[in-house]
């Protein structure tokens, strides 16, 4: 039997909201399922609440709301945070990504999340 986790896209208006919603969907109130992109990728690989021995799927309901909220404005906000924390050798690359996001170009936070789902759990996401 496939385990199904439901994500309510109407309450995912920032990346921080995504971490909270997915953590609670998998592990209950206050639950953890990654709070940065690398940790999220690791969690999707199994062992942090998702079953190791059977299939699982995430139903991202009302994903259109999330897609809009996790667009270029949220991407720019996240890249500003990343830039402030970046190692000096990485700042130019992050600044270039930030400039693209501010111009409304390039991948968005929503795209980042979809890419991680595709790489780590290719059949585990249904956009509804």
Give the model's pLDDT for residue 77: 98
Show pLDDT as tens, one digit a residue, over the chain (128 residues): 899 999 999 999 999 999 999 999 999 999 999 999 999 999 998 778 888 788 999 999 999 999 999 999 999 999 999 999 999 999 999 999 999 999 999 999 999 999 999 999 999 999 99
User: Can you name the residues that pair with 56 across neighbouring β-strands?
Assistant: 3
For domain 1-70+108-128, the CATH architecture is 2-Layer Sandwich (3.30)
Place of tokens 């496939």: 2
Give the model's pLDDT for residue 53: 80
CA distance 99 to 54: 42
- Are 75 and 101 in contact by the 8 Å Cβ rule? The answer is yes
Contacts 24+ apart (CB under 8 A), 77-85: 77/14, 78/15, 78/109
Give the model's pLDDT for residue 37: 96
Exposure string for 84-95, b = 16+ CB within 10 A, e = fewer: eeeeeeeeeebe
Please state the domain extents for the chain: 1-70+108-128, 72-107
Give the model's pLDDT for residue 43: 92
User: Can you name the residues that pair with 57 across neighbouring β-strands?
Assistant: 4
CA distance 107 to 104: 9
Give the model's pLDDT for residue 62: 98
CA distances from 60 to 74, 98, 116, 125 (A): 19, 27, 14, 7
For the whole model, what pTM was predicted? 0.95
């Amino acid at each position: 039997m496939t385990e199904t986790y439901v994500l309510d896209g109407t309450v995912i208006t920032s990346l921080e909201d995504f971490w909270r919603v997915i953590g609670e969907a998998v592990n209950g109130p206050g639950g953890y399922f990654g709070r940065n992109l690398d940790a999220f990728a690791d969690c999707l690989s199994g062992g942090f609440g998702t079953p190791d021995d059977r299939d699982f799927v995430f139903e991202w309901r009302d994903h259109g709301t999330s897609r809009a909220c996790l667009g270029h404005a949220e991407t720019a906000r996240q890249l500003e945070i990343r830039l402030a924390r970046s190692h000096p050798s990485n700042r130019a690359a992050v600044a270039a990504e930030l400039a693209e996001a501010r111009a409304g170009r390039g991948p968005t936070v929503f795209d980042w999340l979809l890419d991680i789902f595709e790489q780590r759990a290719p059949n585990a996401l249904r956009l509804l």
